[in-house]
Amino acid sequence: MPRRILFEHAVSASQIIRVVQGDLTAEEVDAIVNAANESLAHGGGVAGAIVRRGGHIIQQESDRWVQSHGPVVTGSAVLTGGGLLPARHVIHAVGPIWGSGDETAKLANAVRTALTLANQHNLHSISLPAISSGIFGFPKPLCAQVLLETITTYLKEHPQGTLAEVNLCNLDDLTVKIFDDEARRFFGD
C-alpha cells in the first residue's frame, strides 16, 4: 500500500503534524516509534514488524539496553539504531496496558518522552503508531486524542527544538479513520 497523507496541520511555521496511512517500517523519517513492552521483547505487532524489516540488530540493541538498565518503565521511552530500516533510529515507547491505572497519563508520558528523545538527538522527523491501542487494549479514539494533544502541546512548548515533522502513521483502515476524524475534530479543520 502506498503512503497516503490524510490530514496535515501546521502547529507553527516550522512544525507540522500529519495523519498518515502507510507502513510504519517504510517511513523515511529520522526515527520511528515502536509501541514497545517493558522488556523490549519485539515479538509481535508493530514491534515484530520493525525487527522483521529492520533486522535482528534492533532486538540485540534492545536486549543490551535492558541488560544494562533494567526494564523500561511504562510511560517512558528509549532510543536504539534503526538497523536496516529507512529510519536511522527507533524510539521504543512503552505505553500502558488498558486497565492498569492512570493509563492516559502514562500514554502521554510515553509520547512526551519519545518527542524529547527526538529533540535531544537533533532529529527533524518522527512517525508514531497508535501506541497501546493494539494488544494493550487502549481505546483507539482516546489514544488518538492523547497523542494529538500531547504532540501539539509539546511542539508549542518547544518552538526552537529540532523536531519539525510528526506523523501519526498507521496501516489499518479503522485506526487511520479514527485518527483522521479525531485530528479534524481536535484542530477544527
pLDDT attached to residue 169? 98
Buried b (16+ CB within 10 A) or exposed e, 40-78: bebeebbbebbbebbeeebbebbeebbeeeeebebbbbb
pLDDT attached to residue 189? 67
Nearest CA to 147 out of 102, 183, 98 is that of 183
Neighbours of 92 (CB within 10 A): 27
pLDDT attached to residue 42? 86
Domain map (residue ranges) of the chain: 4-187
pLDDT of the chain along its 189 residues, tens only?
789 999 999 999 999 999 999 999 999 999 999 999 999 998 888 888 999 999 999 999 999 999 999 999 999 999 999 999 999 999 999 999 999 999 999 999 999 999 999 999 999 999 999 999 998 999 999 999 999 999 999 999 999 999 999 999 999 999 999 999 999 999 986
pLDDT attached to residue 136? 92
Cα distance between residue 58 and residue 97, in whole Å = 23
Which CATH fold topology does 4-187 show? Leucine Aminopeptidase, subunit E; domain 1 (3.40.220)
pTM for this prediction: 0.95
H/E segment holding residue 91:
strand 89-94
